[in-house]
Structure 1
Amino acid sequence: MTHARLMNGERLTQAEAAAFMQEVMAGEMSGVRMAASLAALRVRGETPEEIAGFAQAMRDNAVRVNVAPREVLLDVVGTGGDGAHTFNISTTTAFVVAGAGVPVAKHGNRAASSRAGSADVLEALGVNLDAPPEVVEDAINTLGVGFMFARNYHPALRHAAPVRSDLAARTVFNILGPLSNPAGATHLVVGVFKPELTRTLAEVLRLLGTRGATVVYGDGLDEFTVCGVNTVSGLRDGEIIDRQMHPEEAGVSLHAREAIVGGTPAENAEITRALLTGGGTPAQQDIVALNSGAALRTAGRVESIREGVDQAREIMRGGQGWDVLQRYAELTRRG
């Protein structure tokens, strides 16, 4: 049996891992077996093949958002769990990038390691989180952006919820969300909570057939940081390149961590509004410009992150991202 093999330290193939997760998603695995398996995986460490299999099963069981085929559909997402309590950097970035004309299918949830997750801040900005998939699909097709509230798109996860709660420890489920976009994002920027995960998740995304990805650990943040060195694994044309990146390389200044701390959903919503309309503090502007530049590079819209940073600053000053966000919020409320 699979759980016995895991308890013995054996590794699963990608197909075996997918079958294991399918059993979880179907509610056919006992809590004891699930807990033992998750604990064994945590102690041994999950392989890229295992994570890819788990993620594929989650994708197969998700409520789908069937957008029109396109070369690029981007998600900008973090695993959470960094405990840094920043404002909603990836959410703000998503609308800067959408304002630049890159189609974005953002997948997110309520707060994990901060006081306000992407769902919390978008709700504060007037987005109806419970807009049906058809509305989100229409928004991506017509506005170039949509938000999928994870809770509404992965109902099968309810079978794992009691065990995850009882374990009260980080498990593989903490990294599966960013890998399980219901709209089938072709390109991803994924922030992770420890540097060892950048290469691992880049390998996972390659196994899943992702066209392009950037996985980053930002010196304590699950996104690109302006407070230190970024550990980056980039996937492009099937090749993974690992490197360290200083913010100055992209024309961005260094800032103290305190300068990017966020607050309540309402406070973070105000920061997002300010940044998308040309305001915000220098540190806030720089970290969103850096993450947006990396996203534009991942999507193939620019040749370098530095070029992407310059374009992001123009979008923020011009207010295109705010216009897209307002139109998206209105569409979700009508739908």
Structure 2
Amino acid sequence: MTLAPYIHAMGRGPGRARNLGIAEAEDAMRLILSGKADPHAIGALLMLMRYRGETPAEIAGFAQAMRATLPALPQTDLDWPSYAAGRTRGLPWFLLSARLVAQSGARVLLHGWNSHQSDGADLRSALAHAGITQATTLEDAARLLDRDGITYLPLECFAPRVLDLLRLRAVFGLRSCVNTVCRMLNPARAPAAVQGVFHPPYRPLQQAAGEILGQKGLCILKGGGGEFERNPTKDVTLFRLQDGTPLETVLPPLLPDARKLAHASYAPDALHALWRGTLQDDFAQSIVTGTAAAALIALGSTPKDAATQASVLWAARLNYSQATARSLAP
């Protein structure tokens, strides 16, 4: 079997070309991951898909094929993909948001790779300042989730072939649909997930793909640098799945004066300083709590309850313990 039938279907020309169905997309990605597909054909398929615009069925089919190759990952409540941080944004304040959500009792798995950087070094160097430990193996991830309720697992630790496909960006000079698929991957099959996008049209695309994949809880927003991180001075529309049902929820601004996420230049240790309270910055704090609230909505809270819960968690963050987390867990 080759990719030729799928390239032919997508590249026949105006009036005759078509997108792939979910079974076709799944079969195509299965062939790619097997290592048997011609590299030229892989490039042709991915660029045709970019040119035509990927569909929910194609994204879901690719994700299903990738999931079938993954090892078993530890039990997780919230999937938090990170595949964009550091290029057009300031500090990854959302790391503190993820940590805050973990202190609610949810097990949070951050995973990713940042293709425009050297092995995602910028985000990864910020993890320690945010109080999050990077896992090196699946066993390590399970231990850290048990100990801290949160960890960051690099893509190369559980899906090295998928990383090879992401690295093709350096060959194409363009992103491919693989970036979108990685956000949809949810490798631990968590019942809830959050996703950030850079371009707004990807919000309904990923929402529809999540519905096809049977995702129960999902929140997607246009975030800083394409990450799941909200700007607290703007209203934000969440494209959601609640018990698998598509919804849209608009969250109002948290602060009055419009500002960009990268309004101030901070060193990475500002993450630790904000958490400990030695840095006072209402804007940064609102990024953290506002983003955490959006993630809590994915986990099933109402918008009003999520905002209250995020504020309570922030106020109590320095008194956190695993026993407290277990008492708060649903």
* TM-score bracket for this pair, using the shorter chain length: 0.7 to 0.9
Report the alpha carbon displacement of residue 62 of structure 1 after superposing the two structures with TM. 2.5
Q: Are positions 1:289 and 2:297 aligned together?
A: no
Within the candidate set 22, 25, 30, 1:17 is matched to: 25
CA RMSD of aligned residues (A): 2.9
Contact 2:166 2:178 in 1 (8 A): no
Is contact 2:89–2:261 with CA below 8 Å preserved after alignment?
Answer: no
Match of residue 302 from structure 2:
303
| Post-superposition offset of 1:254 | 4.2
Q: 1:179 aligns with which of 135, 160, 184?
A: 184
Once residues 55 and 104 of structure 1 are traced to their aligned partners in structure 2, the CA distance between those partners, rounded to angstroms, is: 20
User: Structure 1 residues 149, 158: CA separation in 2 closer, same or farther (over 3 Å shift)?
Assistant: closer
Contact between 2:135 and 2:141, CA under 8 Å: does it hold in 1? no
- CA distance in 1 between partners of 2:176 and 2:264 (Å): 26
Shift in Å, 1:207: 1.1
- Are 1:202 and 2:200 counterparts? no
Partner residue of 2:260 out of 257, 261, 269:
257
Aligned to 1:152: 157
Report the TM-score, using the length of structure 1 for normalisation: 0.82
Cα separation, 2, equivalents of 1:163 and 1:90: 27
Q: 1:89 to 1:135 in 2, by over 3 A?
A: same
Shift of 1:58: 1.7
User: Residue deviations 1:208-249, cap 9 Å, x none?
Assistant: 11110011114875432224332321111222123543324x
- The superposition leaves residues 24-81 of structure 1 with CA deviations (integer Å, 9 ceiling, x where unpaired) of 11111112111111111111111101001111122222233132xxxx7102335527
Segments of structure 2 that go 5 or more residues without pairing to the other structure are 323-330
Q: Give 3-state SS (helix, strand or coil) of 2:189's partner.
A: coil
Matched to 2:288, the amino acid is V
Q: Residues 132-189 of structure 1, C-alpha deviation per residue, up to 9 Å, x if partnerless?
A: 2112113324542232111221111255356432101011012122222322221011
From 87, 95, 101, the equivalent of 1:97 is 101
Checking the alignment, whether the CA contact within 8 Å between 1:79 and 1:190 is kept in structure 2 is no
AA of the residue aligned to 1:136: A
Q: Which residue in the other structure is 1:88 paired with?
A: 92
Q: Measured at CA, do residues 31 and 57 of structure 1 come closer, stay the same or move farther in structure 2, by a change above 3 Å?
A: same
| Equivalent residue in structure 2 for 1:134, among 133, 136, 139 | 139
Output the CA distance in 2 between the equivalents of 1:125 and 1:245: 26
Tell me, yes or no, if the aligned pair for 1:66 and 1:137 is still in contact at 8 Å: yes
Whether contact under 8 Å (1:192, 1:217) holds in the other structure is yes
Match of 1:238 in 2: 244
Q: TM-score, normalised by structure 2?
A: 0.83
Distance 1:317 1:259 in 2: 25
Counterpart amino acid of 1:15?
A
1:119 corresponds to 2:127: no
> Is this contact kept in 1: 2:166–2:179, CA < 8 A?
no
Aligned to 2:77: 73
* Structure 1: gaps (5+ residues): 325-335
Of 33, 40, 45 in structure 2, the residue corresponding to residue 37 of structure 1 is 45
Provide the rounded CA distance (Å) in 2 between the counterparts of 1:108 and 1:262: 24
CA contact (8 A) 1:202 1:234 kept: yes
The SS at the match of 2:73 is coil
Q: Distance in 2 between matches of 1:49 and 1:35?
A: 20
